[in-house]
Chains A and B, each alone.
Chain A
Amino acid sequence: MRLGTMGGRFSPARAALLVRNRALEDGPGLGIGLGIVLGVNVLSLVVSHRAFLNSAGGQGWSTAIVLAGLILSAYAFKGMHDGKAGADWILLPATPLEKYLAALLSYLVLYPLLAAAAATGASALLRLAESLAGGPGGRIWTPFQAGILEDYADYAVAALVFIAGSASFRKRAPLKTIGAVTAYGLALASLFLGGLALLHAGRGDLDFRYMNGIFSAEGGIDSDRIERIGKFLFEGNRLVLAPLFALLYGYFRVFEKEARDEVQ
């Protein structure tokens, strides 16, 4: 593919080239990862006549896809921060928007689709091998199962946050992103609980409970209402505020980046 024209602020052709380049860069690493997964499963077939990733409803496949996707997202802008490669990355003739969008398309759309297709194929292959090895046969994992959209939404939000972290942090981006998200969560929880305690001041003891993912408050308080508010705040944060912030913040970090990292 070659660009005939460079006109316009945003060029889909340039963005497509950037997505292609990312796929070519990530492909070998993912291929090795898939090879290792298959190798370990073949080993488990030899030892126990079972491909362990196909057991337990094939949840292992979903976990592996999500983990690999988050690792890729967490290093999406590593090259931009590199002392030597950074200037080349910044000066590659494409706009910051195209570069950022290419990362989003790669890890939020292209990667999940290709990884799911590869995992389905590998799962089918392992099931066949398991049957031939005299095992129970297991189940072929496919992405078409209950709750897949919710799982994808969770993955997409996490990937967005890690992409923003990668655009922001020069070194140890994944760890720093996890640290920032934890600190944000703790600050939010403190605010919520602090607000609750403030509203309840002088009305006796408050008893907070958190069990099986459900938060409740007892002690002369409308527990259902508080739970609804808590859920609204949590879901609003998880599905709207956090992804929106990550999306915009990541873009501005890419746009603002300068080649100041190398020795001047």
Chain B
Amino acid sequence: MIEFRSMTFGYGKRPLFEGLDLTLEPGTVYGLLGLNGAGKTSLLKLAAGALRPTGGSISSFGREPGRREAELLADTCFVPEDPWLPPLKPAAWLSRYAVFRPAFDRERFAALVKELALDEDKLLTKYSYGQRKKFALAAAVASGAKVLLLDEPTNGLDIPSKAQFRRILAQAAEPGRVVVVSTHQVRDLESLIDPIVVVHGGRVLFSLDATACAERLSAARLPSLEGRPVVYAERDAVGWAALLGLPAGEAEGQAPDLELVFDAAIAAPERLAAALKGEALGAYVPEEHLIDKEAGK
């Protein structure tokens, strides 16, 4: 379990998180969502121990990541958006770096390298961006780490690779392992991530699980918003893509997609909170709920 308690962190004098509280349980794949600059990568680095909080505390399976104890580092795997790999072939990489992780599963790694069609005779630095991501992902899944922190893992992957990634991530979600995926591409991972954690304005705005969303929310394409329990709506070519405060299946509503839920969390947090509690919603005024792209900073 990873626990952030009243955690404060910032770059220079600019605070990024102020009193952030978050608990991440094992056996779960968390989707970490937020606008650009909201601090998703920083939050992952804080959980990994690459950054240290300026206040409050972080605990990962009872240990403080910032102390960088070797056991905890071996139990944690952070895959950055653009992974760095040394100028080595996969076999040499294994003998130099995987040896620091006692739980590293070489057979699983070999199977993943094969499944991802990664060239074992090529230097890792000669891999393309997507191949480097696949290699880093294979290494993370085979690492045996109890904490997997993946930053924008589907960025730069082609369509078949995204499907492979989903399959591998589903295998990686083992009991006892915390998986956190920071992403802007929620549709790529919609079937896997549950719950979603929305980070905004230096704190966790929402932690929503799929069941709660399905019980309270639905999505619909509407020509007009009048008389509907609208949580949030975006104009599209034919009318409105709306998130409604109605369970999926009721009236014209369908299961809500995560992108719309995320937009609602950012643009209309009070309405979303009210809908999740089953409270009545007032009239929806679109102009009052525009997403401020800088607000996450």
Contact = CB atoms under 8 A, between A and B. Distances in A.
A21 to B, nearest CB: 5
A209 interface: no
Interface stretch (A7-15, A67-75, A135-143, A245-253): A7-15
Contacts of B82: 84
Contacts of B229: none
A9 B69 contact: yes
Contact of A6 (B42, B84, B86, B102): B102
Given A88-B84, A258-B50, A260-B11, A96 B99 contact: no
B100 A14 contact: yes
Interface string B43-59: 00100111110000000
A257 B76 CA distance: 18
B74 A264 contact: no
B78 interface: yes
A258 to B, nearest CB: 5
A91 interface: yes
B41 interface: yes
B84 A85 contact: yes
B73 interface: yes
Contacts of A7: 71
Interface string A52-89: 00000000000000000000000000000010110110
A122 interface: no
A1 B99 contact: yes
Task: Give chain A's interface secondary structure class.
Answer: loop
B68 interface: yes
A98 B76 CA distance: 18
A2 B99 contact: yes
A195 interface: no
A93 B42 contact: no
A93 B70 CA distance: 5
A254 B52 CA distance: 14
A24 interface: yes
B51 A258 contact: yes
Interface string B75-107: 010101010101000000000110111100000
B99 A91 contact: no
B84 A93 contact: no
A120 interface: no
A139 B287 CA distance: 88
Nearest to A84: B84
Nearest to B72: A93
B71 A6 contact: yes
B50 A91 contact: yes
A160 interface: no
Given A85-B84, A258-B50, A260-B51, A93 B101 contact: yes
A11 B48 CA distance: 21
A88 B49 CA distance: 11
B171 to A, nearest CB: 22
A82 B100 CA distance: 21
A88 to B, nearest CB: 5
Contact of A93 (B39, B51, B73): B73
Interface in A178-226: none
A2 B97 CA distance: 10
A5 interface: yes
A6 B74 contact: yes
Contacts of B102: 2-6
Given A4-B102, A93-B101, A259-B45, A98 B11 contact: no
B142 to A, nearest CB: 14
Nearest to B16: A264
A6 B50 contact: no
A144 B76 CA distance: 48
A124 interface: no
Given A1-B99, A17-B100, A94 B51 contact: no
In the A-B complex, the 9 residue pairs with the smallest Cβ-Cβ separation, listed nearest first, are A93-B74, A259-B50, A93-B73, A84-B84, A93-B100, A85-B84, A6-B71, A87-B50, A258-B51
19 contacts: A2-B99, A2-B102, A4-B102, A6-B74, A84-B80, A84-B82, A87-B48, A87-B78, A88-B84, A90-B50, A91-B73, A93-B71, A93-B74, A93-B101, A94-B70, A94-B100, A95-B70, A258-B51, A264-B11
Given A2-B102, A82-B84, A90-B49, 13 more contacts: A2-B99, A6-B70, A84-B80, A87-B50, A88-B84, A90-B50, A91-B76, A92-B97, A93-B71, A93-B73, A94-B100, A258-B52, A260-B11
